[in-house]
Structure 1
Amino acid sequence: MLPSLSTRRRRVLKWILLTAAALFVAGAGAVAYGYTTTKIPAANEAALAQNNTFLYADGSLLAKDGDVDRENMPLSRVPEHVRHAVLAAENRDFYHRPAVDPVAMARAGWKTLRGDGVQSGSTITQQYVKNLYLTQEQSVTRKAREIFMAVKVDQQMSKDDILEGYLNTSYYGRGAYGIQAAAHAYFGKDAEDLDVSEGAFLAAALNSPTAYDVVAHPENKKMVERRVTYVLDGMRKEHWLSAKGRKAAGLPELTEQGDDRGLSGQRGYLVEAVKSHLIDSGALTEKELAAGGYRITTTIQKPRQNALVKAVDDELVAKLSDSRKADQSVRAGAASIDPRNGEVVALYGGRDYAERYVSNATRRDYQVGSVFKPFVFTAALDKGATTADGQPIGPDTVYDGTSRRPVTGFAGYSPQNEDDISYGRISVQRATDASVNSVYAQMAQDTGPKAVRDTAVALGIPADTPDLNAYPSIALGPATASVLDITSAYASLAAHGQSHEPVFVKKLTRQGDEVALPEPEQKRAVSREAADTTTSVLQGVVEDGSGAAAQATGRPAAGKTGTGEHNRSAWFSGYTPELATSVALFGQDPKTGAQTSLHGALGEARINGGGYPTRIWAAYQEAALKGLPVTTFDLQDQEPVAPIVPPTEGPQAPVAPEPTDEPEPSREPETSAPPEIPDADPQDTPPAEPDPEEPTEPEQPDPAAPPEADL
């Protein structure tokens, strides 16, 4: 006879209960065993942080990144509002909850699975244990050890002692370990003198130390403001900050500290660029690199690095005068890349890292000006674009070069040429030689601004570059790509359209074991025909245009000059078959850090890309290639480009004078201010970012004012 339904249910329930009890006992036993067998070891090397050794490409010593910048501070000397800021950022229930918070860990795990990014859910005690005793390895075993050790540490140490240890072992960026070193690195003061805003920033920086340094990464300012707001709002919510104090607090001003750890001159700029590359490429995490012990062979070639520094010193620094106030605002940045493989062989970040650590080679806050124009022409060729009347775009295509001529197909935008010169009917070759704004804005519209943007990105300009917007004004260079970014894109042209991700590291080892490096990305950015035709046209800029000073290398060269709006930047970017290099000058107030005009610097009315930047470029390229055979560009499917002489009759006859080293100052271009901001200065108003899904030719007037062009 079969048992009744109720009997079967009782048996199933009994089996479930017995199984659950067995699993509970087994789990409890495992936890007990794990807790009993887990020992607290001596502090690991991550907490003691070794030096990293940086080598030139030939294996000679470049730099060591110094002793660990750390000075332990007793908790009693750390202001209460600073402690509260850290708690608000990392663990608000620290003093009232156990060392491990299962709910927070479960919540973090769910968010990670949901795709919100990796979440840790770790308490301050767990982070302290990880900093002091464990590695940054992401594994179940490491996490289990962290939990057991955190519980034991929580039993053996007071909450104050744990918080003190956490504040002194955490990494805050700028090479600073511990709250005291961080206070000096960012604000030039002792930790006990930090105000509420400064404490909130340092607490926020714990989340991502390098990215949150808004002096080195001004593009991240909004992200940092959000994090600081989160910290301050948390302090207010926990009643650690009054309403008045909350209202007065915000993102503080950071100092531009020098570095006194033996990284003076160019070494500091090189080391920081290499470290950023290792982190950004995923080769190492920030904490792994900060732990030290790595031997890093870079791609920097010592002879070429020395040649670049000498070129800047001889052609620029030696000519700066203390008696000219404008000269104190001149900053120089340069980068040089091997087009065959993307290796960065030389980099110039500034006069001295110990005096000013922000690298002019990698910063992304100055307009690139007309060095962007070759990307427009390349896009037109690669996409097979035509003019409004159906003519294929090429070197001999004729455009109307009249200054302030409205862009056909885009209402309300009439770019002005430099010095308001009208060139009449002019070929693309001559328009490139003379950097004619009206021609290139129309070409961008004919090609499609989005196609221009996509081509620039494919060649090597980062997609998140500020002001890289799909409007006709993109042709005139309002985007603020770095010198290194522009060099990478020009290297793609030199490599016949093959793009290579910039590379700084050839080999990475630790304790004798080689560490695998990610394979750098390489791809075909544009067709070889498009790249080679662009090279042919850019040769004309050097032979018969604004880049004539580049002829001093005595080698075939291609390049383009550029000048940013209000003459705040001046550029020359170019290449020989062997080497792509960019040189830029920036105007920056030495006291406030604000961008300033280069007008009056070096005793000249205006600094153009064809002057000092091109002369520095030529001096460097000549020295860097000394002893190598002179080679010509291997251009395929090219017809000889004969410059077309524009007509000299009619109302639109060109009135351009011959280029000179010291042109007369230009008037600033006039553009219409955006209708929604009637009081805005049209030349300081950035364009709105178009929706990438929208048509490539927006119907609204372009609100971006073009930068000045240059001759």
Structure 2
Amino acid sequence: MGRAEARRARQRGGTRRVAARSQSDGIRPRGARRAAKGRGGKRRLFTWKRVIGTLFGLCLLAMGAFVALYIFVPVPPANAQAEQQSNVYKYADGKLITRTGEVNREIVGLDRVPKEVQQTFVAAENKTFYKDQGVDIKGTARGVVNTLTGKGKQGGSTITQQYVKNFYLNQDQTVTRKLKELVISLKVDGKYSKKEILAGYINTSYYGRGAYGIQAAAQAYYGIDAEKLDVSQGAYLAALLQAPSQYDWTSASDTSRKLVKQRWNYVLDNMVEQKWLDAGKRAGLKFDVPEKPKAEAGRAGQAGYLVDAADDQIVAELERRGDTREDAIAKVKAGGWTVTLNVQSKKQKELKKAVDAQLNDKLDSDKRKVDAAVQAGAVSVDPKTGQVVALYGGEDYAKHYLSNATRRDYQPGSTFKPVILAAALENDAQTQEGQAIQAGTVYDGTSGRPVVGGEKAYAPPNEGKKDYGNITVQKAMDNSVNSVFAQMGADVGMDRVARTASDLGMQKIATDPAMTLGSMGASPMDMAGVYATLDNHGKKVTPSILRTATHKDREQIKPEPLGEQVVQRGTADSVTSVLQGVVNDGTGSVVGSGQYAGKYEAAGKTGTSDNNVSAWFAGYTPEMVTVVGMFGEAPEGGGDLKRPDKSPAKVGDHVSLAGAGGDGKIHGSGFPSRIWAAYTLGALNGGSDAEFDLDTDMGTGVRPPAEPTTEAPSDEPTGTPSDTPTSEDPTTAPPTTEPPTSSAPPTDPTDDPTIEPPTDEPSGSWGIPTEPSDGGDTQRKPGRD
């Protein structure tokens, strides 16, 4: 053994001796403690070296995956949405209505788009467009995380990414699509110039109104070619891309108009920031309001109204399935749909024929300027299936694109009164004196009598300020007595009335006393649903114009219009029985007399709104429910007409119908009732023997209610108080809630000799008919409402 080896041996021995001595003394060397801990305790699983190593490995894997994606994901051909197809629309019997969806797009080069207009899109969507590599990694990562966590869609995409999504991919919000978008955007940015990408973006984007691309948008919104757009107009079109339907100025709400103006200002301010627009010029720019929409090809006549109603229902169903509204609209506009409507071609022809014969043919705007303001809308529904079998949206979609069948900006007037009765019956409501409200219950029909028990003071006048004295609910419905139903609303409770209205299918409405006289907005489609539910014995009917919508790439859409029992059968049948009295003996007697007498069994209600700006008849037979509305809408230029507040009317303003068609004051018992009767007779092939199957013991349809005494009402008649009004005659709505279109009285109808019998309706009345007292003239004429 050499010296070195001996020295190492001595050292090892020494170490062992030290260790032994330390152990015997109860002291363990530091290294021994670590070794013992390593052997007997838990190992340290996480160290900085391991964490950093793991992260580095994950980064390498991610980079490798991205490289693989970049190599193996090609730039695909243009998608189907970029090469749009037609949508085909058919009647229920398979007959073709129209084809729409041919691409409303003309590709234009950037040489045909002013430089400043090009820059508005960059300022709106992607200020770094000219400098970036075509992608926004941070924004895309945020979008992936939001998709994975179910937070939905968020912005952050570059113009290149949006172009790739529009032209090569689709609108689906999935992780796979977002990753493909990222890879393809990088490749597209490397392959094409910024000018080519920008041209592709502005030519493939959807601007609303069926317009794809900037050329179609320039025509749709300003009636000019893209090369004539100025920077203000370009800023609007650029802002529009964020929400085409919401930001369309002519149909936008006040809130949306405020938002689009904010977006317009944002675009222009960004242009100044980027030194693309002189600050002085910017300060002088004004918002250029776009033109009203024009009819799309293939939509003239009634076709456009049918197509729009069907498209709206498809969009609503796609939204219900999870799409955003904008994406749903884009999918419908992309084409490829075969849409079958419930509309029956024969009934559709009969409805148009009835409106033309009973109204349009009698209008002459050269003789009467008010005739240019007349609009009509109607919806007919099969109550057993909920199918919309006919729809009239206006004289011609090419002349008036807004459908009068689905618009909600006019009051339904007294067609709402059956809802109040339904609420009373459904809730077992009682009068102020504790009597159950039924068809034979007696109320005080004094005009202008203050309502007792309501949350707000209210005292509406009757038609012509006529006092009816003690009157049954049946007679009050027949003659549409305002004071009775205003009191009934208070007796039931306005919250309960609103709930019943919602159950029957109306939109959410405020619980204001004026609601009892139909002061809310409603469409013929809405009211058709309400009356169809009554006709269907209280089972909910949501009118559906759509039978099926099929697309090769999507699940079929097939609505179910029938719902659950929303009011008791006894409630619905009792209202139907009462409404038969309106047709037999009341304001709706036009539809059951003369050439229509005995042709069908019917129930219904007339309605006339404040200042005579609308008139209605909502009626039904056992087989069919039809609602007809007539609306006063100022034509282009205002037509030299006045708003109800006497100010000059502008296009689209509500105006009085008084004098239209030479009929003097317009009531629901006039044109609307005549249209309803002519259509119903034709649609039923000359008549029907069908009878209502009613489960009720009240109403004219079952037995006449007991007549109250014809003596003057006492101070406190049975059922309601009869306090004498202490103020001047009010309007139908409290001053604080009166709509702006209903602020001035119409021409006094007593001055018009064409009205027979004459009426003297006060400001804001709801069209209560003038007729002899119960014990008077036996040669009574149909009342008016």
Question: Cα 1:198–1:62, aligned 2, differ >3 Å: closer, same or farther?
Answer: same
Q: Does 2:191 align with 1:156? A: yes
- CA deviation profile, 1:367-426 (whole Å, cap 9, x unmatched): 111111111111111111111111111111111222221111234322122222222221
2:519 maps to which residue?
478
Q: What is the distance in 2 between the residues matched to 1:369 and 1:158? A: 61
The partner residue of 2:298 within 262, 270, 283 is 262
For 1:534 and 1:91, the matched residues in 2 are separated by 60
1:8 deviation in Å?
5.8
The aligned residue for residue 27 of structure 2 is none
The Cα offsets for residues 227-256 of structure 1, whole Å up to 9 and x where unpaired, read as: 332342353255367488568645825314
Matched, 1:54 2:113: no
User: C-alpha distance in 2, partners of 1:340/1:258?
Assistant: 34
Instruction: Write the distance in 1 (CA, Å) between the matches of 2:281 and 2:469.
Output: 63
Q: Is residue 441–residue 476 contact of structure 1 (8 Å, CA) maintained in 2?
A: yes
Taking the aligned partners of 2:282 and 2:475, their CA distance within structure 1 comes to 61
Mapped contact 2:517–2:732 kept (Cα < 8 A) = no
Give the residue type in structure 1 aligned to 2:203: N
How far did residue 671 of structure 1 move?
A: 5.9
Instruction: Indicate whether 1:632 and 2:691 are aligned.
Output: yes
Q: Which residue of 2 aligns with 1:617?
A: 676
CA distance in 1, matches of 2:734, 2:511: 18
Q: CA deviation at 1:643?
A: 4.5
Other structure's SS at 1:384 match? coil
Q: Could you give the per-residue CA deviations for residues 241-298 of structure 1, whole angstroms, max 9, x where no partner exists?
A: 7488568645825314233x12211111111111111001227821221111211111
Q: 2:655 aligns to what SS in structure 1?
A: coil
Residue number in structure 2 paired with 1:302? 345
Match of 1:173 in 2: 208
Aligned counterparts of 1:479 and 1:269: Cα–Cα separation in 2: 24
Whole-angstrom distance in 2 between the partners of 1:115 and 1:27: 23
In structure 2, the partner of 1:18 is: 53
Q: Secondary structure at the match of 2:429?
A: coil
User: What are the Cα deviations for residues 34-76 of structure 1, in whole angstroms up to 9, with x where unaligned?
Assistant: 1111111221221111111111111111110152111223334
| Alpha-carbon distance between aligned partners in 1 of 2:208 and 2:765, rounded to the nearest angstrom | 37
Residue 233 (structure 2) pairs with residue 233 (structure 1): no
Which residue identity is paired with 2:99? K
- CA gap of 1:86–1:398, structure 2 versus 1, over 3 A, is farther
Q: Distance in 1 between matches of 2:520 and 2:145?
A: 39
Q: Name the CA shift for 1:450/1:115 in 2 (closer, same or farther; >3 Å).
A: farther
The aligned counterpart of 2:358 is 315
* 1:306-705 matches, cutoff 5 A: 306-321=349-364, 322-410=366-454, 411-463=456-508, 468-511=509-552, 515-517=556-558, 519-520=560-561, 522-551=563-592, 552=596, 554-591=599-636, 592-626=651-685, 629-639=688-698, 640-650=702-712, 669=731, 673-674=735-736, 683-684=742-743
Q: Is 1:63 aligned to residue 137 of structure 2? A: no
- For residue 4 of structure 1, report the CA deviation from its aligned partner: 6.5
Please tell me whether residue 293 in structure 1 is matched to residue 345 in structure 2. no
State the structure with more CA Rg.
Answer: 2
Aligned to 2:177: 142
Rounded Cα–Cα distance in structure 1 between residues aligned with 2:388 and 2:87: 20
CA displacement 1:492-539 (0-9 Å, x = unmatched): 111111112222222233359872435556222211111111111111
The DSSP-based 3-state class of the residue aligned with 2:47 is: helix
Q: Secondary structure at the match of 2:616?
A: strand
Q: Residue 389 of structure 1: SS of its match in structure 2?
A: coil
Relative distance call for 1:405 and 1:109 in structure 2 (3 A) is farther
CA distance in 2 between counterparts of 1:243 and 1:708 reads 57
What's the RMSD between the two structures over aligned residues? Answer: 3.1
Counterpart Cα distance in 1 of 2:116 and 2:604: 55
Aligned to 1:699: none
Tell me, yes or no, if the aligned pair for 2:346 and 2:683 is still in contact at 8 Å: yes
Change in 2 beyond 3 A, CA 1:476/1:203: farther
Structure 1 residues 350 and 195, CA, compared in 2 at 3 Å: closer, same or farther?
farther
Once residues 631 and 439 of structure 2 are traced to their aligned partners in structure 1, the CA distance between those partners, rounded to angstroms, is 31
Write the deviation string for residues 293-344 of structure 1: whole angstroms up to 9, x where unpaired.
2111111111111111111111111111242211111111011111112111
- Cα 1:545–1:355, aligned 2, differ >3 Å: closer, same or farther? same
Q: Map 1:186-205 to 2 at 5 A.
A: 186-194=221-229, 198-205=233-240
Range with greater deviation from structure 2 (585-594 or 281-290):
281-290
Alignment gaps of 5+ in structure 1: 654-666, 686-703
| Superposed displacement of residue 82, structure 1 | 4.2
CA contact (8 A) 2:117 2:231 kept: yes
Q: Is residue 173–residue 209 contact of structure 1 (8 Å, CA) maintained in 2?
A: yes
Change (3 A) 1:517 1:252: same
- Equivalent pair of 1:477/1:706 in contact (CA under 8 Å): no
Q: The residue matched to 1:176 in structure 2 has which SS? A: coil
1:369 touches 1:707 (CA, 8 Å); kept in 2? yes
Assess if the C-alpha contact under 8 Å between 1:384 and 1:392 holds in 2: yes
Hey, what's the Cα distance between the residues in 2 that align with 1:89 and 1:421?
62
The amino acid that maps onto 1:473 is A
Tell me the CA shift for residue 353 of structure 1.
1.1
8 A Cα contact 1:370 1:476, kept in partner: yes
- In the TM superposition, what is the alpha-carbon distance from 1:214 to its structure 2 partner? 5.0
Query: Greater CA deviation, 186-195 or 143-152?
Result: 186-195
After TM superposition, the structure 1 stretch with the greater mean CA deviation from structure 2, 555-564 or 103-112, is 103-112
Distance 1:93-1:437 versus aligned 2 partners, 3 A rule: farther
CA contact (8 A) 2:513 2:733 kept: no
Alignment length, in residue pairs?
Answer: 670
Contact 1:173/1:210 (<8 A) preserved: yes
Distance 1:45 1:529 in 2: 53
On the 8 A contact 1:570/1:586 being kept in 2, the answer is yes
Q: Deviations over 1:580-638 (max 9, x none)?
A: 11111111111122221101111122111111101101111111121774211111132
What's the CA shift for 1:108?
A: 5.0
Q: Report the AA paired with residue 257 of structure 1.
A: K
Q: How far apart in 2 are the matches of 1:518 and 1:120? A: 33
Measure how far apart 1:186 and its partner are: 2.5
Q: Does the Cα contact within 8 Å between 2:541 and 2:561 map onto a contact in 1?
A: yes
Give the drift of 1:18: 2.2
- One-letter amino acid matched to 1:383: N
Distance 1:171 1:668 in 2: 50
Tell me how far apart the structure 1 counterparts of residues 345 and 549 of structure 2 sit (CA, whole Å): 18
Work out whether residues 424 and 646 of structure 1, in 8 Å CA contact, stay in contact via their aligned partners in 2.
no
> Which residue number corresponds to residue 662 of structure 1?
none
Unpaired runs of 5+ residues, structure 2, are 1-34, 637-650, 716-728, 745-762, 769-783
More divergent stretch after superposition (492-501 vs 318-327)? 318-327
2:419 aligned partner, one-letter code: F
Q: Secondary structure at the match of 1:412?
A: coil
Q: Give the Cα separation in 2 of the matches to 1:197 and 1:644.
A: 70
